[in-house]
Structure 1
Amino acid sequence: MKIGIIAASGKAGSTLLEEAIKRGHDVTAIVRNKEKLQNKEVAFIEKDLFDLTSLDLAGFDVIINAFNAPQDKPNLHVTSLAHLTSILKDSDTRLVVVGGAGSLYINKEHSLQLKDGKDFPDAFKPTAIAMSEALANLRLVTDVNWLYLSPAAFFNPEGERTGHYTLTGEEFTTNEKGESVISYQDYAVALLDQIETNTDNQVRVSVRY
């Protein structure tokens, strides 16, 4: 497939980039600064996310949005997704979003999210709130083929690639050890698996060990 990865020079984006290349896809890095790309051989579009147009993204089978807003500007999670859905509307391009764990539900009624829990770190709340709002807005989008993949609560940049993971739904879950964790590398495995084998549309799923 022809896959474009927004923020391909970041931690998650660069991991996804290498996983997609490893699988033989035609990959384009979409970055603000091409000099920050670790892979100097990959095709690229050097452009700010908010300057991207429908023409820039035409012809891609999938756009992966790995953009992570600065902690002091959490609302960019909301505005960036709004921009991407506006330029992808009514196209055949699938938008796959690297999401957050804070919006996973912690009760069966789906009235409380992980970010609402008393143990959720205050430092991460503004980002979690903004990402939850961005997801809520995305759920209203009916003219874009989108998939939102939430990682586990501990999204481990240093973890190894095992190739194993557990795909779960909208609710926060833990493994048999009571842990909610996934490495960046195995998150990339799960996300690319979803792109290659899954046809679910306009849904959020989550992944952990």
Structure 2
Amino acid sequence: MKIGIIGASGKAGRDIFAEAVRRGHETTALVRDANRAAEVLGSDAAVLERDAFDLTQADLAGFDVVVNAFGTTPDQAFEHVDLARHLVETVDAQEPRLVFILGAGSLRTGEDRHLFVEDIAESPGSEAWIAIPQAQLRELKYLRDIQGVNWVGISPGALFEPGPAAGVRLGKDELLADEAGNSRTSTGTMAIAVLDEIEDPAHRNTRFCVVDG
């Protein structure tokens, strides 16, 4: 399968790239800096050096799946929605399939099923970075309103950090946690969930979540 990964040299993207290569897929890093990608992914990694907002229909047409693991700084968080819109408007109908790595803020939690982003907003120091989960919530809302494009979104747990896979536990729109109340997703776990979904699609035009299991 031909897989393109936007943000392949970033926190989530690098493990997704490695897992796709490990499984034998024809995998291309779609990145702004080819030198940086070579440092992170290896000099033999297939790279298309392109700003994500400059990707054209011709660029994307050769892929079966494009994974959006794009990351931003808080002051540029609005680009999450902008890039989702650009990809949706650029792909040719149902191909390639779009896979979006979303945030945990759009998940539901508590007995009243409030959005987790509300809890994030109450965390000390969150004002410095809450623009990102807020933007990713808007991104999901945008995706849920579109038609005619084959997409899926995947959200991690409350804590999303680099690390090897630690089991895979899937859910839908609820923030998952273990018996101790921990809600964690390693980048390795996310990579496995992404590739499992690519190889054996179980979700269409919806979002699901994954935590270490």
The TM-score bracket by the shorter chain reads over 0.9
State the Cα distance separating 1:88 from its structure 2 match. Answer: 1.2
Does the residue aligned with 2:203 lie in a helix, a strand or coil?
Answer: coil
Does the residue aligned with 2:19 lie in a helix, a strand or coil?
Answer: helix
Q: Which amino acid aligns with 1:160?
A: P
Does the residue aligned with 1:96 lie in a helix, a strand or coil?
Answer: strand
Contact 1:94 1:145 in 2 (8 A): yes
Contact 1:107 1:171 in 2 (8 A): no
What pairs with 1:12-31 in structure 2 (closer than 5 Å)? 12-31=12-31
State the Cα distance separating 1:123 from its structure 2 match. Answer: 2.8
State the Cα distance separating 1:64 from its structure 2 match. Answer: 0.3
Does the residue aligned with 2:145 lie in a helix, a strand or coil?
Answer: coil
Does the residue aligned with 1:133 lie in a helix, a strand or coil?
Answer: helix
Q: Deviations over 1:43-81 (max 9, x none)?
A: 111010110111100021100000012221110111011
Q: Which residue of 2 aligns with 1:160?
A: 164
Q: Which amino acid aligns with 1:161?
A: A
Does the residue aligned with 2:153 lie in a helix, a strand or coil?
Answer: strand
Q: Which residue of 2 aligns with 1:49?
A: 52
Q: Which amino acid aligns with 2:150?
A: N
Q: Deviations over 1:146-183 (max 9, x none)?
A: 000001110021x2233x11001111121111110011
State the Cα distance separating 1:126 from its structure 2 match. Answer: 1.1
Q: Does 1:70 align with 2:73?
A: yes
Contact 2:172 2:207 in 1 (8 A): yes
- The CA distance in 2 between the partners of 1:193 and 1:109, in whole Å, is 32
Q: Counting helix residues as a fraction of each chain, which structure ranks higher?
A: 2
Q: Deviations over 1:7-43 (max 9, x none)?
A: 1111211111101000000001100010001222121
Identity of aligned residues (%): 38
Contact 1:89 1:143 in 2 (8 A): no
Q: Which amino acid aligns with 1:113?
A: L
Q: Which residue of 2 aligns with 1:127?
A: 132
Q: Does 1:207 align with 2:210?
A: yes
Q: Deviations over 1:111-145 (max 9, x none)?
A: x3101126443333211111101110011111110
Does the residue aligned with 1:179 lie in a helix, a strand or coil?
Answer: coil
- The CA distance in 1 between the partners of 2:122 and 2:200, in whole Å, is 36
Q: Which residue of 1 aligns with 2:199?
A: 196
Q: Provide the TM-score with structure 2 as the length reference.
A: 0.91
Does the residue aligned with 2:130 lie in a helix, a strand or coil?
Answer: helix
Q: Provide the TM-score with structure 1 as the length reference.
A: 0.93
State the Cα distance separating 1:109 from its structure 2 match. Answer: 6.8
Residue correspondences, number: 206
- The CA distance in 2 between the partners of 1:122 and 1:104, in whole Å, is 19
Q: Does 1:113 align with 2:118?
A: no
Runs of 5+ unmatched residues, structure 1: none
- The CA distance in 1 between the partners of 2:184 and 2:135, in whole Å, is 22
Does the residue aligned with 1:173 lie in a helix, a strand or coil?
Answer: coil
Q: Which amino acid aligns with 1:114?
A: F
- The CA distance in 2 between the partners of 1:40 and 1:4, in whole Å, is 17
- The CA distance in 2 between the partners of 1:143 and 1:69, in whole Å, is 27
* Aligned Cα root-mean-square deviation (Å): 1.5
